[in-house]
């Protein structure tokens, strides 16, 4: 694998990413069209308020939402969604954040949906209040409720389920916000959650969409998105907005918009087919190794594209999982795969494997595992 000079200078070598759109490995790769659009965007000055609004409208149209806003990642969108639910468009409240002194300062989250991204929900000054049943959720909703938060991720419990949670929110007239960072593809999700009745939905721009890694966006109803926008920049009169450290550059806005257009234009079944072909090559390559089970799993609910899963039989006597991971991550090139705590299996996620890398991954695994 060729090491680009810019990284070599810093002593950094490229790695093979069979772990998915994970932040620690760089999210995803931008297409040449995205990079050239960003380059073009960088040649002039523009009115950032107008650019933000137009970009938001462009995204909203794609998502069948009233309004949209580009953010510096899905996590930033989560901060701004909660802020919007706390303040609405009231400037004195916006000015006050971060603060827990606003009346609406509670974010209701299912106890099984607690996760490592939830800090974003509390950054405006809100508190997370846990519920574990529909009854409890109904009881907890009060004047203090800023919103109900729902999080979608392949590794996370579904809590009450999105539909049921939306119903409770609507019955009680409180907003429901959704962290759907890595739920694209499928492309239908761009509008699905809005159509289901979610008030604000947040996605990452640097995962499946392949935009700049430090972008994301939120979409939803007009009032809440405008409130999120007011909380996002201190370009508005003398407002000191909580979103100031999460600004998005003109190059990143254009990069995201361009990537999103390419993303919706792409044929999802061909993309899926390409991932499946790579999976099959790896599976065939590993078929002679004793005492392991190799399957291709592509349940869209829990897998980010076709994934090769390696499980170990009871009488497997080869290297331990820890040893296998060590060998993969420290060989040349370093190879990163997906694992879950307390589950003895290896998942090879295809979405970020570049053409030909499936062969390198399979060969290396054969070397390590075949060494029994």
Ligand X SMILES: *Cc1c(COP(=O)(O)O)cnc(C)c1O
Which residues in this chain contact ligand X in the complex, by CB under 6 A?
23, 73-75, 117, 151, 153, 179, 181-182, 204, 206, 216
Strands 335-340 and 343-349, how do they pair?
antiparallel
Render 313-338 in DSSP notation, one character per residue.
-TT--S--HHHHHHHHHHSSS-EEEE
CB closer to ligand X out of 208 and 368: 208
Render 257-307 in DSSP notation, one character per residue.
HHHHHHHHHS-HHHHHHHHHHHHHHHHHHTTTSTTEEEEEE--TTT-SSSE
Render 84-149 in DSSP notation, one character per residue.
HHHHTT-HHHHHH-S-S-SS--EEEEEGGG--TTTHHHHTTS-EEEEE-SHHHHHHH-STTEEEEE
**What is the phi/psi pair of residue 266, to 5°?**
-75, 150
CB closer to ligand X out of 87 and 204: 204
CB closer to ligand X out of 254 and 369: 254
CB closer to ligand X out of 73 and 220: 73
CB closer to ligand X out of 181 and 310: 181
CB closer to ligand X out of 169 and 184: 184
Question: What is the C-alpha separation between 345 and 367, in angstroms, rounded?
Answer: 18
DSSP state of 245: G
CB closer to ligand X out of 105 and 204: 204
Question: What is the C-alpha separation between 131 and 205, in angstroms, rounded?
Answer: 30
For the bound state, the minimum distance from the C-beta of residue 153 to ligand X, rounded and expressed in Å, comes to: 4
Q: Which two tokens stand for residue 87?
A: 């303040």
Question: What is the C-alpha separation between 193 and 11, in angstroms, rounded?
Answer: 43
For the bound state, the minimum distance from the C-beta of residue 43 to ligand X, rounded and expressed in Å, comes to: 27
For the bound state, the minimum distance from the C-beta of residue 277 to ligand X, rounded and expressed in Å, comes to: 26
Question: What is the C-alpha separation between 142 and 96, in angstroms, rounded?
Answer: 22
CB closer to ligand X out of 147 and 368: 147
DSSP state of 251: H
Question: What is the C-alpha separation between 255 and 212, in angstroms, rounded?
Answer: 6
For the bound state, the minimum distance from the C-beta of residue 186 to ligand X, rounded and expressed in Å, comes to: 16
For the bound state, the minimum distance from the C-beta of residue 126 to ligand X, rounded and expressed in Å, comes to: 17
330 Cβ contact list (under 8 Å, min separation 6): none
For the bound state, the minimum distance from the C-beta of residue 179 to ligand X, rounded and expressed in Å, comes to: 5
Which residue number places its CB atom closest to ligand X? 73
């Amino acid at each position: 694998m060729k090491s680009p000079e810019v990284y070599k200078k810093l002593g950094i070598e490229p790695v093979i990413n069979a772990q998915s759109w994970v932040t620690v490995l760089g999210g995803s790769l931008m297409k040449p069209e995205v990079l050239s659009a960003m380059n073009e965007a960088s040649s002039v000055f523009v009115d950032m308020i107008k650019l933000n609004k137009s970009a938001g409208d462009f995204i909203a149209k794609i998502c069948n939402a009233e309004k949209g806003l580009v953010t510096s990642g899905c996590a930033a969108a989560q901060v701004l969604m909660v802020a919007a639910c706390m303040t609405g468009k009231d400037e004195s409240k916006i000015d006050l954040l971060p603060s827990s002194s606003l009346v609406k300062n509670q974010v209701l989250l299912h106890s099984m949906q607690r996760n490592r991204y939830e800090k974003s929900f509390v950054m405006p000054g809100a508190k997370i209040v846990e519920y574990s049943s529909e009854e409890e959720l109904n009881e907890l909703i009060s004047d203090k409720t800023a919103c109900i938060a729902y999080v979608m991720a392949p590794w996370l419990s579904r809590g009450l389920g999105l539909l049921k949670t939306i119903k409770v929110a609507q019955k009680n007239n409180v907003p429901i916000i959704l962290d759907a960072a890595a739920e694209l593809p499928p492309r239908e999700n761009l509008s699905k959650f809005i159509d289901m009745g979610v008030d604000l939905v947040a996605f990452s721009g640097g995962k499946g969409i392949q935009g700049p890694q430090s972008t994301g966006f939120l979409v939803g109803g007009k009032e809440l998105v405008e409130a999120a926008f007011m909380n996002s920049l201190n370009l508005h009169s003398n407002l000191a907005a909580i979103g100031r450290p999460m600004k998005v550059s003109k190059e990143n806005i254009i990069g995201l918009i361009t990537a999103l257009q390419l993303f919706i234009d792409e044929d999802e079944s061909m993309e899926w087919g390409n991932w499946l072909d790579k999976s099959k090559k790896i599976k065939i390559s590993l078929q002679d190794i004793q005492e392991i089970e190799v399957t291709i799993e592509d349940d869209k609910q829990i897998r980010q594209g076709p994934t090769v899963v390696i499980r170990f039989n009871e009488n497997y006597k080869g290297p331990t999982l820890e040893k296998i991971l060590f060998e993969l991550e420290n060989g040349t090139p370093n190879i990163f795969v997906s694992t879950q705590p307390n589950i003895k299996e290896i998942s090879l996620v295809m979405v970020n494997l570049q053409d030909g890398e499936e062969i390198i991954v399979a060969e290396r695994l054969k070397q390590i595992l075949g060494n029994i």
